[in-house]
């Protein structure tokens, strides 16, 4: 699952499939085939993600008890939510630069929607004099309401957390630290593995994916650029290394 860009992104799923992992890319907002709702809102609830999980479980060519979840950015939060709050049992979970709670101050549920429009919804979204949007502060653990945090005491599978230390879009390092502390307090620290990469930005993608430190967030009603972070060489190295370790993690937990 991808992040707040929405839509259906299949490239990572295709790469997993090329290595023998049955893989499902899941759109959950800002996609024409999602049930009616504002184009920039999450209009699906927990039942949607549960159905997607069960679709894979029921597939005749899939081992139903060996399914993992992976998400980037806001998709990382959803992956964590699936692993801890939805009535399914993933074999492992991977969170790439994702927050440990819902930063929009509302839950995803079967009866609510979440706005992800192009206008700053919280005071932590800021546009500087150059027109650059920064939203990093919105995902600081201290700015996530306690009731919106992931219930890590419910985690029952290994979790791989990937962090870009130059992430300018999310407070990934702080979230990873808080995740580890929460799991330790719950007696589940043994389930947690963190890969932290100096100089890497927010969009840690498969190897050789170009990184843009700053790119367009919106064109209308006015052009807004957002800062992702990442230095070219360090970010490229992080993408190569994390991809190898993601595959190893999946191999151990889904095939081992």
Rounded Cα distance, 36 and 44, in Å: 10
> What one-character-per-residue DSSP string does 204-231 give?
--STT----SEEEEE-SSS-EEEE----
Question: What topology is assigned to 11-255 in CATH?
Answer: Rossmann fold (3.40.50)
pLDDT of residue 108: 54
- Phi first, then psi, for residue 150 (nearest 5°) are -65, 140
Q: Which residue has the higher pLDDT, 212 or 111?
A: 212
- Token couple for 65: 């008890």
pTM, full prediction: 0.91
Q: Identify any residues that bridge with 68 across adjacent strands, giving them in sequence order.
A: 92
- Phi first, then psi, for residue 25 (nearest 5°) are -85, 130
Q: What is the pLDDT of residues 126-185, one digit of tens each?
A: 787 787 888 899 899 999 988 889 999 999 999 999 999 999 999 999 999 999 999 999
How far is residue 119 from each of residues 134, 140, 171, 187, 224, measured CA to CA in Å?
12, 19, 20, 40, 10
pLDDT of residue 39: 52
How far is residue 176 from each of residues 64, 104, 164, measured CA to CA in Å?
29, 19, 10
Q: Identify any residues that bridge with 69 across adjacent strands, giving them in sequence order.
A: 93
Burial class (CB in 10 A: 0-12, 13-18, 19+), 148: middle
Burial class (CB in 10 A: 0-12, 13-18, 19+), 211: buried
**Residue numbers annotated as active site:** 73, 167, 202
Length of the chain as a residue count: 256
pLDDT of residue 233: 98
Q: What is the pLDDT of residues 53-110, one digit of tens each?
A: 999 999 999 999 999 999 999 999 999 999 998 889 999 999 999 999 987 654 455 5
Cβ 166 vs Cβ 201: under 8 Å: yes
pLDDT of residue 86: 85
């Amino acid at each position: 699952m991808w992040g707040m860009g929405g839509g259906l992104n299949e490239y990572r799923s295709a790469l997993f499939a090329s290595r023998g992992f049955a893989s499902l890319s899941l759109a959950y907002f800002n996609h024409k085939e999602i049930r009616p709702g504002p184009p920039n809102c999450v209009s699906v609830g927990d039942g949607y993600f549960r159905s997607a999980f069960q679709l894979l479980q029921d597939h005749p060519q899939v081992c139903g008890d060996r399914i993992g979840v992976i998400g980037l950015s806001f998709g990382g939060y959803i992956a964590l939510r699936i692993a801890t709050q939805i009535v399914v049992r993933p074999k492992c979970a991977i969170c790439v630069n994702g927050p440990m709670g819902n930063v929009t101050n509302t839950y995803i549920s079967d009866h609510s929607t979440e706005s992800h429009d192009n206008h700053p919804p919280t005071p932590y979204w800021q546009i500087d004099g150059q027109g650059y949007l920064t939203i990093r502060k919105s995902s600081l653990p201290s700015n996530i309401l306690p009731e919106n945090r992931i219930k890590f005491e419910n985690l029952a599978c290994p979790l791989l957390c990937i962090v870009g230390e130059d992430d300018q879009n999310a407070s990934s390092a702080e979230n990873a630290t808080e995740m580890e502390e929460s799991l330790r307090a719950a007696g589940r620290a043994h389930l947690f593995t963190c890969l932290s990469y100096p100089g890497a930005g927010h969009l840690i993608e498969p190897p050789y994916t170009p990184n843009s430190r700053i790119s367009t967030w919106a064109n209308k009603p006015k052009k807004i650029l957002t800062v992702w972070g990442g230095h070219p060489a360090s970010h490229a190295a992080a993408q190569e290394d994390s991809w190898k370790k993601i595959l190893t993690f999946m191999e151990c937990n889904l095939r081992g």
